[in-house]
Amino acid sequence: MPATKKRKPARGKPKSKPLRVADDQLKRAARIYKSLRKTYPDAKCALEHKNAFELLVSTILSAQCTDVRVNMVTPALFKKYPTPAKMAGAPQDDLEELVRTTGFFRNKAKSLKGASQLIMKDHAGDVPDGMDELTALPGVARKTANVVLGNAFGKNEGVVVDTHVARLTNRMGLTRARDPKKIELDLMPLFPRKNWALLSHLLIHHGRNLCPARKPKCDNCPIADDCPKVGVTSKGA
């Protein structure tokens, strides 16, 4: 009898369930969140968008690219192809030229066109608001889906883990993981679900302002007392 093949987990789902955490860790996480919320009251998604489709496109383009660069590219892109219907019918070479400066432009253009076509085919032209449906789109993995769900639909299905979030949460001792999905699993039980989307923005703002990869400004940090500063060897002014 042939061996049964193991099913690979869907790319929109973490491989295991979040673990239970100790009360002191929960209290420390709550203090960190409260301090960051007070420090960055205007924290929000840095990708400029007017609707779910624009955010989806911008997030796909943001892979290996800065939000600033994406925001420079998207006005011309959305002026020419403002809807899934328009982008689904766009010439591949034209899309490539429009997104060239974001890097990996051929793959990104292919993903934009493919995602738009599937939105038209399977979702009547509307960006889907479910994790499984979003991660079925070309170029959309869990991180991108979390961005769209949390910021366009107000749905907290998970925590967006980018390089800032990964670095800071390790430095804060909230996780020891390096893999984004494992980091997400460690963070989810530490913070109330309603705060998951905003948590990412707060950490990203903190990473850009006070806690960069090199020489974090620990002396000016609002969460210094709650941060073990894991891996910090030198501090900035």
pLDDT per residue, tens digit, the chain (237 aa), is 444 455 555 556 565 555 567 899 999 999 999 999 999 999 999 999 999 999 999 999 999 999 999 999 999 999 999 999 999 999 999 999 999 999 999 999 999 999 999 999 999 999 999 999 999 999 999 999 999 999 999 999 999 999 999 999 999 999 999 999 999 999 999 999 999 999 999 999 999 999 999 999 999 999 999 999 999 988 765
At residue 167, the 3 state secondary structure works out as: helix
Q: Which of 143, 155, 181, 186 is catalytic?
A: 143
Residue 115 amino acid letter: A
Res 1: pLDDT: 46
What beta strand segments (E) does the chain contain? none
Tell me how many degrees the CA angle 174-176-181 measures, rounded to the nearest 5. Answer: 90
pLDDT computed for residue 4 by the predictor: 47
Element containing residue 99 per DSSP (H, E): helix 92-99
- Ordered structural domains, the chain, with CATH: 23-43+158-226 (1.10.1670.10), 52-152 (1.10.340.30)
Active-site residue, selected from the candidate residues 162, 182, 229, 235: 162
Instruction: Evaluate the CA torsion angle 192, 32, 147, 106 in order and state its sign.
Output: negative
143 catalytic residue (yes or no):
yes
CB 201 within 8 A of CB 41: no
The pLDDT value recorded for residue 48 is 98
CA distance 210 to 214: 10
Q: Can you give the pTM of this predicted structure?
A: 0.88
Cα–Cα distance measured from residue 98 to residue 107, given in angstroms and rounded to the nearest whole number: 13
- For the chain, helix, strand, coil in percent to 5 are 55, 0, 45
Dihedral, CA of residue 120, residue 97, residue 67 and residue 143, to nearest 10: 40
- Rounded CA-CA distance 112/87 in Å is 7
